[in-house]
Amino acid sequence: MKFFTEENSELAKEIIGRYPKPRSAMIPLLHLAQEQEGWVTDEAMTEIAELVGTTSAEVLGTCSFYEMFKRKPVGKYVINICTTMSCALMGAGDLMKHAESRLGVKSGGSTADGLFTLEGAECQAACTEAPCLQVNYRHQYRVTPEQFDQLVEDLAVADTDIPEHGVLSQIRQHIPEDKFVGTTPPEDVVSAPVWLSEAGGQ
C-alpha cells in the first residue's frame, strides 16, 4: 500500500529531480506528506525514505527536528499566537489568555471537535503589527480579543480563504521542461559554467 496518492507521487518525483542529491528533497516531501494527511504518519516517513534513498530513522531524525511537522493529528486550524518580545510588549499574554478561555483549551491543546489547535509560537516576522498570530501559517495582525472571536467564528463555518492544516503554499513551482537546466551530482561537474569560461557572457 503506497502512502502518496498517484498525483503526489508524480509531484514527489518532480521535486526530487530539482536537487543534485535526492536527500535534499526530504523537507519538501515531508511537507507534501503533511499536506496529504494533515500530519506526518509513519507510513509517510517510510515511503519518503525509499524515495530519497535513506532509512526511515533518518527521515524521523529530520522530521522531529522541525516544529511544523506534526507527528500526531492536530486541529483543522492550527492557531499560533506569537509570544516573543515585540508581541509580548503589545499584549500577546492577554491575547493568549483570551484565546485559551474562548477555545476552552490550554496552549498546546486541541478542541474536542478537532477544529482548533492552539499553540504559543515564536517570532513570526510581523513585529510591527503586534500582537499577531497565524492560522495555518497565514498571518493576522494587531489582533484584539473581538477580532479573535470573529476569526474563530469564521473558521468554524469555513468562511475564510485559509486552507486546512498541512496545506502550505497553494501555488507550486513548476519548471517547464524546455527551460529546466537540470541537475548534475556535484562530483560529476569538473569545469566552470559556460558563461564564465567564455568570459563575456553573450
Partner 1 sequence: MAGTPIPHAPGFIANTTPRIVTSRFDYEDSYTLTRYEATGGYQGLKKALQQTPEEVHNEVRDATLLGRGGAGFPAGVKWGFCPPEVWPRYLVVNGDESEPGTYKDRLLMELDPHQLIEGCLIACYAVGLSQCFLYIRGEMAVAQERVAQALNDAYAAGYVGKNIQDSQFSVDIVLHWGAGAYVVGEETALIESLEGNRGMPRLKPPYFPASIGLYGQPTIVNNVETLSNLPWILEHGAQAFTAIGTETSPGTRMVAVSGHVKRPGVYEIINGTTTFRDLLYGTDMCGGIRNDNQLKAFVPGGGSAPWFTPEQLDLPFEASHVGPQGSMLGSGAIMVMDETTDIPAAALTLTKFYAHESCGKCVPCREGGTWLEQILRRVVEGRGTTRDLDLLIEVGETICPGDFPHAAISSKGIEAVPFPYRMTTICFVGPSAFAPIHSALTLFREEFEAKVAGNDEPTMIEVAVDV
Give the shortest CB-1-to-partner 1 separation in angstroms.
25
Residue 112 or 193 having the CB closest to partner 1: 193
Q: Assign 3-class secondary structure to 65-123.
A: CCCCCCCCCCCCEEEEEECCHHHHHCCHHHHHHHHHHHHCCCCCCECCCCCEEEEEECC
Q: Does 181 bind partner 1 (CB under 8 A)?
A: yes
Site for partner 1 in 145-174 (CB under 8 A): 150-151, 153-155, 157, 159-162, 168-174
Site for partner 1 in 98-137 (CB under 8 A): 121-130, 134, 136-137
Q: Does 37 bind partner 1 (CB under 8 A)?
A: no
Q: Does 26 bind partner 1 (CB under 8 A)?
A: yes
Residue 122, sorted as left (phi over 0), alpha (psi -120 to 50) or beta, turns out to be beta
Segment holding 5, helix H or strand E = none
Q: Does 65 bind partner 1 (CB under 8 A)?
A: yes
Q: Does 90 bind partner 1 (CB under 8 A)?
A: yes
Dihedral sign from CA coordinates of 7, 12, 18, 20: negative
Q: Does 36 bind partner 1 (CB under 8 A)?
A: no
Segment holding 140, helix H or strand E = strand 138-140
Give the shortest CB-62-to-partner 1 separation in angstroms.
6
